[in-house]
Amino acid sequence: MTATFTFTSYGAKATAALGDAIATAKGDDPLAPVTVVVPSNLVGVAARRALATTHSAGGTPGLAAVRFETLLGMAGLLAGTALADDQRRRISDPVVGSAVRTTLARSADLLRPVAHHPATERALVRVHRELRELDHTELDNVATTSRQASEVIRLHRLIRDRLAERFIDEVDLHRAAAAIDPTHPLLDELGTLILHVPGRTPASGLALLAALAEIRPVAVIAALTGNEAADEPARHLVERLGGAVPSSVPTPTKSELAVRSVADPDEEARVAVREIVAAASDGIPFARMAIVHPGGERYARLLHQHLRSADVPFNGVAGRRLDESLTGRILLALLDLDDNDFSRTAVMAFISSGAVLGADGAAVPTTAWERLARSAGVVAGADQWRSRLRQVAADLEQRRDDLASQGAEPGRIAAVDKKISQAMDLLDFVEELITNVGTDPAPTDWPGLTGWTAGMLDRYLGSTADRTRWPDHEVEAHTRVKDLLTGLARLASIEPRPGAAAFRRAVIDGLDHDLDREGRFGDGVLVGGFGVVTGLDLDTIVVVGLAEGTTPSRSSDDPLLPDSSRHAAGGALMTRPDRMADLHHRVLAALAAAQHRRVLVFPRGDLGRKNEWVPSRWLLDQVEEELGLRPSPTELEDLRQPWFSTSPSFVGSLERLTSPADEQEYALAELLRERHRGLPVDTSDRRSADTVLSRGIDLVRGRQQPVLTRFDGNLAGAAVPSPADGRTVLSATRLQTWVRCPQAYLMEHVLRVGVAHEPHDDEGITALDRGTLAHQVLDRFIAENLENDSIPGPETAWSGSQRQRLEEICDEEFALAESRGLTGRALLWRHDSERLRRHLQAFLIDDHAWRAQHLTTPAAVEMSFGLDGNGPLVHVLPDGRSLRFRGRIDRVDRGADGSIHVIDYKTGGKSSYRKISETTPDDHGQYLQLPIYGLAARAAVATPDTAVHGQYWFVTDAGAHIGHPLSEAVLTRFDTVLTTIIDGIETGLFPARPPKDSRFGIGCDYCDPDGMGTDAVAASWEKKRTDPALEPYRRLIGDLDEVAGAVTDLGDHDG
């Protein structure tokens, strides 16, 4: 062999050795061809740039006739002539995956139980790639180790043979290149070969290099780390080419060490950026620096986020995968639709990007459609979309007709018309989507499946012209997704009929790739995994993630081909120790790349996951080399060295901050320094220049005070709409909301922030819908008898035919509720509907007893005021302010003595209403319906002195009645309660008052928006409740025991 060897360390010394090797190869001829074989294209670009600006040791400048190629790239050049007439195509992961699926389906034996599992497919793809490097003897040796290994080797050979006819892979290229004719002129064009800092090289690649070394001069620049296991691949290559590694290993350039102990990975990213900013302030160009990490999305995202925040330019892997792009997300959502039975969640995930186009070519109104689908109660299934959206449209049409008959303003009618149009547009869109996805017959081959998918993307994402306003990276991602589909279409020769499931897996695997680089190499700081800087020459390297368990991470044995079988290949297959050694090599190479400074950062834990970590063994190696002894993790934290620092937290690091990464860190650090000097943050000079800071200080201080402030419910002086403004029409429920929780009133009725409730089919009918349904049945029943003049006398029971009619109305209303998606799972509904039906039949018995006892007769149902074109109830308070009320009274009866009986149906238990009586008619302001309804009924059908009695009728609690007369005492109390409520609203009192125990009964969505509990809100209320401004409110609510059982109002009394 004609190989020569130069042994060096990584970094600047390796770059210098390369310059010397090129100068030696050229000799006196600056145009002599030289080919440098590099471990990656990135190393080639970096080396070319570095050498282009320097001189070699011999003083010969320039890089004329020098080409940089990876080993695979050179193999492709050399094999090109041998394979010129070969019709086979280059292999890809989807091709291998297709062959693996087909082979598993047809030939799996021991693996048959898991043959169709995606994890088995992916594992066999990976193992097949490894086994391609083994010869027949090595494969046989592995196969003898176990039944499973024998099965894997057998499947591998079947896959190999299946692919060999149509495809060539890296092994084929290496072998074809190794067989090149020694006299081929292409070898003269390549000139002298220089193998620059090679890493682990596959067996077929080593064979190619050995073959070339027999016929051409090959100069090897072997970079060593000094760790025997990490350097084993380089040692093996050198020996394969006829050389020997010296006993003394070259030492890397001695760079300055810095070690940082921080709280968690987020703080690691901050510290890394600070180190970069500090180095830049010392004059080091960003292009001469790098931040390397263990890999994975988390570190990439954190580093990119903090670099952008600091306005530091960077480049590297984009940190986003193709499946996170707009087109990738929409494609996956499209493929999920059928499997999820076109659930509302799946359909909305498909259209939520804002880029999906409707039939008219315009972006669909995602938000409006989401609200419509929720209100329709759509959960899943084509039938639900059709029936429930049509029912919503019908309900809206009825609403529009009612408004028109009442002479409503054109704007209100137009708004309803718009919703009707949106409902029908949504239905049309979903109908088309269901038809498109459910194409009959559905394609089953690769060209058909990929063609259908590409057509769907064109239909819903439009043409190139429709994407002109997309960001450039999304346009590029769209092109890559379309290219993926084009590639998958070529798999028909391997897997004729993959089916929808296999197609979906192939798409998922194809999208599970990083997008192209972020930025351009050389523009800014390089960011990437540990291996990205192997072979580079830089000034500053920041290494993050150096915690045990992360670097190195815990590894498990290969489930298909464990180490016990791999050892039989005689070193041709990597084992867990080999993978560990390769990772160590990448870390050591990264550290050696730093010419001036290397910064090692490790997190002591993960605050979000409650983990505690210790520093990596490889970090401790560096510390031991610096100190001359190896500290324990505890001793390291106590270390007093200028190159070591530890910070307990983000705040702790700010207290010693000298190089802030951005303006925010500078401001926070300045505030901390002022605090240490005894200066209160409230009087900081920064407040005048930083509006956000100033407001934040006001917020924190306000919430710390023992009285209400504008940050926790005191909006005194703000323009809060008054309920007594002469225009607002109120409901009892609205004012009761303020009594229960003033903050809820502010959110719902002032800020108009609603609560979105998720419809579910896996639950029974809700209490609210059950109450509404019972109300509908009773309203129709009584209304029909009133219309037919068939109401029985006070002492007469309902007839058998009337009972039968009630059954028929139940059937009709129950069916309508089902069509609206309100009844939940069918099994639960059967039980709930029978129970409700029994309660409604029992109502007729209770009603007879009620009428006989009080000598009353129903006179009206659904008596409305302030609704349906009827004027509101105007109630004047003692101080002269007037309130306008609206509502709908379930039922009004007239007594034989002319008295009025106002009835409000309820479902649920009566226990929450047990305190209601003439002496406590509202139970601390909780219940205001009966006085309002009584006054409205009196104004509508009687004289001002007519006796009125109001009661709640608990239809599902043994027909119990709780109520009181509309006496002077009740009306006096009513005015007092209303005055307190209106005063509180007008003066801006809106504190949050959560229920004492929301596990039962009615909670507060606004006090507990995330469902995580109300402890903090409750603590704030307890601290602030003694504010004198709250005395009238506290007097109103007293020591109110929160609701212990939910009671549902039958019907929407708010109108």
Q: What value does the mean pLDDT of the chain take? A: 90
**Residue (of 145, 147, 170) closest to 72 by Cα position:** 170
Residue 416 · residue 403 · CB < 8 Å: yes
* CA-based nearest residue to 550, from 298, 307, 321: 298
Specify the higher pLDDT residue, 56 or 1022.
1022
For residue 206, the tally of other CB atoms under 10 A from its CB is 20
pLDDT of res. 56:
44
Distance CA 477, CA 1038 (A): 62
Counting Cβ atoms within 10 Å, is residue 865 exposed (0-12), middle (13-18) or buried (19+)? buried
Fold for 256-319+518-557+572-650, please state it. Rossmann fold (3.40.50)
Q: What one-character DSSP code corresponds to residue 681? A: G
Residue 318, pLDDT score: 72
Mean pLDDT calculated for residue range 917-945: 93
CB 209 within 8 A of CB 201: yes
pLDDT in tens, 158-196: 999 999 989 999 999 999 999 998 988 899 999 999 999
Query: How many residues are listed for the chain in this entry?
Result: 1055
Measured CA angle at 736 (ends 735, 741), to 5 deg: 105
Q: Which of 196-210, 214-228, 630-644, 822-836 has the lowest mean pLDDT?
A: 822-836
Mean pLDDT of 10-27: 93
Q: What are the b/e assignments for 765-779, b being 16+ CB within 10 Å?
A: bbebbbbbbbbbbbb
Same fold yes or no, 3-85+174-240 and 256-319+518-557+572-650: yes
Tell me the average pLDDT across 584-604: 96
What residue spans define the domains of the chain? 3-85+174-240, 89-165, 256-319+518-557+572-650, 322-511, 663-701, 738-1049
Which tens digit of pLDDT belongs to each residue from 854-889? 999 999 999 999 988 899 999 999 999 999 999 999
Task: Give the type of residue at 412.
Answer: R
Q: Is 681 exposed, middle or buried (0-12, 13-18, 19+ CB in 10 A)?
A: middle
Q: Minimal CA–CA distance to 369: which of 341, 395, 349, 384?
A: 349
The reported pLDDT for the residue numbered 1051 is: 43
Residues ≥6 apart with Cβ < 8 Å to 453: 331, 334, 335, 485, 507
The DSSP string of 394-441 is HHHHHHHHHHHHTT--HHHHHHHHHHHHHHHHHHHHHHHHHHHHT-SS
The CATH architecture to which 3-85+174-240 belongs is 3-Layer(aba) Sandwich (3.40)
| Residue 998 pLDDT | 54
Task: With CA atoms as reference, report the closest residue to 39 among 201, 219, 203.
Answer: 201
pLDDT at 1043: 36
CA of 58: how far to CAs of 28, 49, 468, 996, in Å?
A: 11, 19, 54, 85
Range of lowest pLDDT (178-187, 261-270, 657-666, 1004-1013): 657-666
User: Inter-axis angle of helices 410-437 and 446-461, to 10 degrees?
Assistant: 170
Q: Which residues make Cβ contacts (< 8 Å) with residue 196, sequence separation at least 6? A: 14, 18, 21, 36, 37, 38, 39, 43, 47, 221, 535
Nearest-CA neighbor of 802 among 848, 770, 760? Answer: 848
Dihedrals φ, ψ of 325, to 5°?
-70, 165
Residue 316 burial by Cβ neighbours in a 10 Å radius (0-12, 13-18, 19+): buried
Ramachandran sector of residue 917 (left: φ over 0; alpha: ψ -120 to 50; beta: rest): beta
CA 257 to CA 644: how far, in whole Å? Answer: 9
Helix axes 326-339, 410-437, angle to 10 degrees: 80
The pLDDT of residue 1038 is 84
pTM assigned to the model: 0.80
pLDDT of 503 over the 80 cut: yes
- pLDDT on residue 978: 97
Res 252: pLDDT: 83
Rounded (10°) CA dihedral 451, 457, 463, 466: 180
pLDDT of residue 61 exceeding 60, the answer is: no
Q: Select from 113, 111, 189, 190 the least CA-distant residue to 153.
A: 111
* Distance between CA atoms of residues 542 and 521, nearest Å: 17
pLDDT in tens, 296-334: 889 999 999 999 999 999 998 876 788 889 999 999 999
The SS3 call for residue 759 is coil
What tens digit of pLDDT does each residue of 573-583 get? 999 999 999 99
How confident is residue 762, by pLDDT bands cut at 50, 70 and 90?
A: low
Look at residue 1041 in the predicted model and tell me its pLDDT: 43
Please tell me the predicted confidence (pLDDT) of residue 649.
Answer: 82
Assess contact for 10 and 589: CB atoms under 8 A. Answer: yes
Q: Which helix (H) or strand (E) holds 770?
A: helix 767-787
